[in-house]
């Protein structure tokens, strides 16, 4: 099954990912695809999928037909895990995406869907499913429910961190990055008539959170 999965993978065009998408974000895409296919997220499998999807970034310079496992290892250990907090695990145990890593992977997939790495107006079924799932999670959050019932003073940092897929220890830069991704998802589904209302409501909610961010930026 794994061999068949890897054989069917098609590489993205270099112009889709060579300029403004960092290596650690490409790693999250590889891990998400392995996860969705229910394939072990071992180091070897990560090396193979990254080389298959993004050969321009994860191939040996002299022998481009072979993957650059050292670059993959460095990206996993230093960029995606240590600095960006996108994943947990190691070469022995395998890897898992964190909540931040999952939402980053989904956002990166949306970027990759356009040859210019920009959001397109018409979203695909896969993108719509990801966006509606993410916004559905927001609409069911305690923070959104309190906002919707005008219990503004009851919204606390824990509520905000929770719907932003973080914890009280997550730094504000990462939380705001997640907020940016969620706003993009809300705008995406707003192009679909059946989701116009929830899109408008969540965007207004996000604007409120941003305007009052100072209040939620510390315990």
b/e per residue 75-107 (b: at least 16 CB within 10 A): bbeebbbeebbbbebeeeebbebbbbbbbbbbb
- Residues contacting 27, CB < 8 A, separation 6+: 46, 50, 72, 75, 76, 79, 80, 86, 87
Give, for 155, the enclosing helix (H) or strand (E). Answer: none
Q: How confident is the model at residue 124 (pLDDT cuts 50, 70, 90)?
A: low
Instruction: Give the pLDDT confidence score for residue 122 in this predicted structure.
Output: 57
The better pLDDT of the pair 84, 194 is held by 194
Domain ranges (residues) in the chain? 2-98, 125-216
Instruction: Give the pLDDT confidence score for residue 42 in this predicted structure.
Output: 97
Instruction: Give the pLDDT confidence score for residue 119 in this predicted structure.
Output: 44
User: For the ranges 121-125, 140-144, 202-206, which has the lowest average pLDDT?
Assistant: 121-125
Instruction: Give the pLDDT confidence score for residue 128 in this predicted structure.
Output: 79
Phi/psi for 160 (5° steps) reads -65, -45
Average pLDDT, the chain: 88
Global pTM?
A: 0.61
48-72 pLDDT per residue, tens? 999 999 999 999 988 999 999 999 9
Tokens of 165: 């897929």
What average pLDDT does this structure show over 148-167? Answer: 94
Within 10 A of 44 (CB to CB), how many other CB atoms are there? 13
Residues 70 and 17 sit within 8 Å (Cβ to Cβ)? no
């Amino acid at each position: 099954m794994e061999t068949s999965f890897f054989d069917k993978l098609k590489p993205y065009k270099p112009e889709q990912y060579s300029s403004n998408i960092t290596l650690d974000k490409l790693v999250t895409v590889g891990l998400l695809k392995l996860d969705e296919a229910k394939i072990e997220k071992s180091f070897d499998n990560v090396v193979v999928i990254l080389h298959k999807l993004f050969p321009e970034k994860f191939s040996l310079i002299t022998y481009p037909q072979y993957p650059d496992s050292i670059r993959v290892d460095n990206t996993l250990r230093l960029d995606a895990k240590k600095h960006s907090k996108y994943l947990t695990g190691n070469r022995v145990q395998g890897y898992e995406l964190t909540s931040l890593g999952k939402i980053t992977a989904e956002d990166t997939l949306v970027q990759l869907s356009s040859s210019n790495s920009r959001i397109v107006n018409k979203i695909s079924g896969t993108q719509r499913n990801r966006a509606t799932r993410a916004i559905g999670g927001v609409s069911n959050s305690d923070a959104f429910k309190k906002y919707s019932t005008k219990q503004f003073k009851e919204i606390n940092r824990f509520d905000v961190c929770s719907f932003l897929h973080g914890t009280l220890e997550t730094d504000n830069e990462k939380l705001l990055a997640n907020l940016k991704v969620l706003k993009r998802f809300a705008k995406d589904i707003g192009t679909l008539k059946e989701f116009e209302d929830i899109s408008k409501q969540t965007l207004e909610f996000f604007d409120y959170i941003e305007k009052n961010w100072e209040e939620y930026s510390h315990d």
